[in-house]
Amino acid sequence: MRFPTAPSPHLAPSNSVSRIMLTVMGALIPGIIALVWQFGPGVLVQIAIALVAALTAEAMVLLLRKRLVLPALMDGSAAVTALLLAVSLPPLTPWWMTAFGTQFAIVIGKQLYGGLGFNPFNPAMVGYAVLLISFPRQMTAWLPPVDLSGFSLSFADVASVIFQQESSLAYDGLSQATPLDLLKTQLGLQTHLDEIQSAGVFGGLSGKGWQWVNFWFLAGGLWLLWRGIIDWRIPLSFLGSLYLINMFFFLYDSSIYPNPLFHWFSGATMLGAFFIATDPVSASTTPRGRLIYGALIGILVFVIRSWGGYPDGVAFAVLLMNFAAPTLDHYTRPRVVGHRR
Amino acid sequence: MTKANKPKLTQNIELAHRPVDLEPYHKIAYDGLWKNNQALVALLGLCPLLAVSNSVVNSLGLGLATTFALVFSNTMVSLIRNLVSHEVRLPVFVLVIASNVTIIDLLMNAFFHDLHKILGIFIPLIVTNCAIIGRAEAFASKNTVDKALADGFFVGLGFTLALVALGTIRELIGTGTLFGRADLMFGDIAKHWSIEVFHDYGGFLLAILPPGAFIGLGLMIAVKNVIDARGK
């Protein structure tokens, strides 16, 4: 790595963990607004629950570990974990699931490994994966987007569903499979792709509502890139490899594999590419390592979505590549200045 | 050889009155159950430990089968320890263990058929449990029969206790019950032993699935290390 340094005097930017975390939170706002617009205010309640759970869990573990509580809470890393987990959850997830998933993410996914900077896995995705494999029914039931259902839930409705378990009947009636979920189950029933995509939830680039959510996460992600918070390599190689492998199979048999833009704009692709895979702690850190890391995540996402057991695979793909990141770093170490290879 | 010259009666009395040296047995028990627990300290035999510890009854079944295998193989290895040459000892030990496990496998198939079906491949796989060959090599091949037998028993008991503890945690968190399907092991009288600890429990699949085993075992090892650290 070269650090081009101009002669003094220098103006140092206030580069700190909390500044980065605040910028990330800011970049999430367009996507969150899109989620509220399309899927109702449930995501706001989820964010509130997740924030409370994450901050209390972090504070308790820090107290147990006899560390300074306030500086660690103020750096915003726990809040970012909570935000990322909350925007991944279905809007009407029961409150105890959100709280449990966030606490698991903070306590077991992050603090047990030594806290910020030591966690080998992305904590938010640890929490998400735990919830997904433990409660698959609740975790795959999303609300229909407002473009499709035509009605929007009020804040009070949403809060009562989330906090009262007895209204789960209404919840079952409201919720509906996501485009990715529907695609998977219908393809399993040998339905033709054109026929599936004529269903109501599909439309535009991917699914109604979903394309907007992904579009605004993409916009927020590009802003992060522009601010220099994340490296361009991971999102580019992630989206590039997802596009290429998808294009290959689309050209091979377009009656089973949807066109590449569908996968780009459905599920958690954009959120994963810009906000989750780029986690500075758990991702690969070398330039070439990042290219490989992102590319393999893209391939894994396609593989899990097309042939795996779960409708979306971003969380699993990121976790699997987190395992591989230290090895990638080892084999892609950049040349030290002045040394031959 | 002076004892042989004494009258037989006095010799017998002398033997009977000699205080039994319990010291090594204390040590064997403490090592097997706690200090050198094969599951929590040596981390041997983790494959069956993690795979079948999803309920108390499964854990108990596999733990007892492993204990029997340990006791028999330790005893036999100790008996033949002076007959086997150093170079071929490992194949011979494996042969002894495999024969014992085959007997246990067939017995379980005959008398605990349903439990045997659930535990499946993990009963024959006791042969490859490193804890057993480990004890045969490290202890039984160097000690007398009585000590080897005690070692096999206590090591097996320590393994079983760790397995049952993990099974309890996983069954409790995963399904909210305890001793579910106890009839597999204790016959029809145990049909109603199942305790529903949490009512209306939705279940927590993670604890039943393999990650639950890894996380549970990790937490158990942590608790043991904390207890050891406090004791110092």
Question: Token pair for residue A265?
Answer: 């704009």
Domain boundary among A126, A161, A176: A176
pLDDT in tens, A34-51: 999 888 888 999 999 999
B21: left (phi over 0), alpha (psi -120 to 50) or beta: beta
Q: Which helix (H) or strand (E) holds B91?
A: helix B89-111
- What are the tens digits of pLDDT across the range A177-201? 777 877 877 777 777 777 777 776 6
Q: Are A244 and A151 part of one and the same domain?
A: no
Residue of A nearest to B204 (CA): A134
Q: Are residues A47 and A171 in the same domain?
A: yes
- Mean pLDDT, residues A154-164: 77
* B223 contacts chain A (CB < 8 A): no
Chain A residues within an 8 Å CB radius of B206:
130, 133-134
Q: What is the pLDDT of residues A72-119, one digit of tens each?
A: 888 888 999 999 999 999 888 889 899 999 999 999 999 999 888 899
Domain assignment present for A24: yes
In chain A, which residues have their Cβ closer than 8 Å to the Cβ of B223?
Answer: none
Residues A48 and A82 in one domain: yes
Q: Rounded to the nearest 10 degrees, how much is the dihedral formed by the CA atoms of B127, B130, B133, B134?
A: -170
Range of the domain at A76: 16-176
Q: pLDDT tens-digit profile of A236-252?
A: 999 999 999 999 999 98
Is residue A284 domain-shared with residue A310, that is, in the same domain? yes
End-to-end CA distance of chain A: 14
A209 and A146 housed in the same domain: no
Residues A228-241 have a mean pLDDT of: 92
- In this structure, are residues A90 and A141 in contact, taking their beta carbons and an 8 Å threshold? yes
Whether the pLDDT of residue B160 is over 80: the answer is yes
Same domain, A59 and A99: yes
Listed residues A176, A192, A217: the one ending a domain? A176
pLDDT of residue B12: 56
Q: Structural domain tally of chain A?
A: 2
β partners of residue B38: none
**Residue A204 located in a structural domain:** yes
Per cent of chain A over pLDDT 70 is 89
Residues A314 and A277: their CA atoms lie apart, in Å, by 9
Q: Is the same domain home to A47 and A150? A: yes
Query: How close A304 gets to chain B, by Cα (Å)?
Result: 19
The answer on A112 and A86 residing in a single domain is yes
Residue at A287 is within a domain: yes
In a domain, A4, yes or no: no
Together in a domain, A184 and A313 = yes
| B36-75 pLDDT tens trace | 888 888 888 888 888 888 888 889 989 999 999 999 999 9
- The pLDDT-based confidence of A150 (bands split at 50, 70, 90) is low
- Report if residue A72 sits inside a domain: yes
Domain shared by A41 and A158, yes or no: yes
Provide the pLDDT confidence category of residue B1 given band limits of 50, 70 and 90: very low
- Decide which of A10 and A242 is more confident: A242
- CB contact under 8 Å between B206 and A133, yes or no, is yes
Task: Let me know if residue A9 belongs to a domain.
Answer: no
Asked whether residue A3 is assigned to any structural domain, the reply reads: no
Calculate the average pLDDT of chain B.
Answer: 84
- Is residue A1, in this structure, part of any structural domain at all? no
Q: Nearest to residue A206, comparing CAs of A191, A222, A218, A223?
A: A218
Q: Is the distance from CB of B174 to CB of B208 less than 8 angstroms? A: yes
Check: complex ipTM more than 0.90:
no
Residues of A in contact with B204 (CB under 8 A): 134
